Amino acid sequence: MIKKLFEVIPNISGFHQPGCGLHNFIQEAIRPEVARMKATGSIDFGPFGNLIFPYHSMGNINSLNLFELDEIFLFSYYWESRKRYKRVLDLGANLGLHTVLLAKCGYDVTCLEPVKEHYDVLLQNIEDNNIKSVKALNAAVSDKDGEAEFIIVRGNTTGSHIAGSKANPYGELETCKVPLMAFEALVEGIDLVKMDVEGHEKEIICKSNPQLWQNVDMMLSIHDIENARQIFNYFSEHDINMYSQKINWGRVQSYDDMIVTHHDGSLFVSSGDMHWGN
């Protein structure tokens, strides 16, 4: 099923909108196959070959949730675009699933993950999959170097974030200090960025030099309306193209086309076009 899915995904990009009938059907069809990973810790993951990714709990969610269909669309894009990019930056790497699969595409990957317990699992997943082309850093990304207070959300550690990035975090919360690394230094020489930074995206993007986006593509997760509005205004002002999964990867023409939460899928940013293929 997974192998056939990766063969089909590039040809059905007009049906990638979350919530459409085909999207929902495929999502339900793949869940039993992904669920078997809880017992086996591995899966034959189509063109990526055998993927070792043991089960881990992250509060109310777990590592199986990282294989939702919208994520698999991104994995397919990485694979189909492997001749377009060479060096990739994975910001908000979590347990390292994107990092491992990006490396399996042949990319050189630099990844950042600020949550220490996630980072430790990430390192183990890199080792278990015999990945050699990854530089992993236990840090958060921001617009400048430094240190920040960080909120660990115990009910869903994937939602942990730099303090102030989310308006009303709830549940059991812990605070710690994390090192910050400046985005513009990290992105030098990079071809593709995957960014999922839990509400801090507007701080990074809207303070960046617009010229850098002439040479870097990005797959972006947006976490709230204010982030979406500021990012829309920034890229619109500087004539950088945005392609929204919410409208089946069509080019964003107005704010209504924007994704505003992860439930809308991802936003692809590029000075050029979005290509499903090499």
Summarised one tens digit per residue, pLDDT across range 89-136 is: 999 999 999 999 999 999 999 999 999 999 999 999 999 999 998 999
- Distance CA(132)–CA(94), nearest Å, equals 18
| Residues in the chain with pLDDT values less than 70 | 277-278
Q: How do the domains of the chain map onto residue ranges? A: 2-143+180-270
Q: Give the other-Cβ count within 10 Å of 60's Cβ.
A: 14
Using a pLDDT cut of 70, give the percent of the chain over it. Answer: 99
Domain 2-143+180-270, what fold? Rossmann fold (3.40.50)
Name 152's Cβ contacts closer than 8 Å, sequence gap at least 6: 115, 160, 173, 174, 175, 176
Q: How far apart are the first and last CA of the chain?
A: 23
Q: Is residue 137 within 8 Å of residue 110, measured between CB atoms?
A: yes
- Distance CA(275)–CA(169), nearest Å, equals 37
Compute the CA torsion angle 215, 216, 217, 220 (nearest 10 deg). -150
The pTM for the full model equals 0.96
pLDDT at 168: 87
Q: Is residue 97 within 8 Å of residue 199, measured between CB atoms?
A: no
CA 245 → CA 20, 77, 182, distances in Å? 12, 12, 28
The side-by-side arrangement of strands in the sheet containing 241-244 is 134-137, 108-112, 87-91, 192-195, 217-220, 267-270, 241-244, 250-251
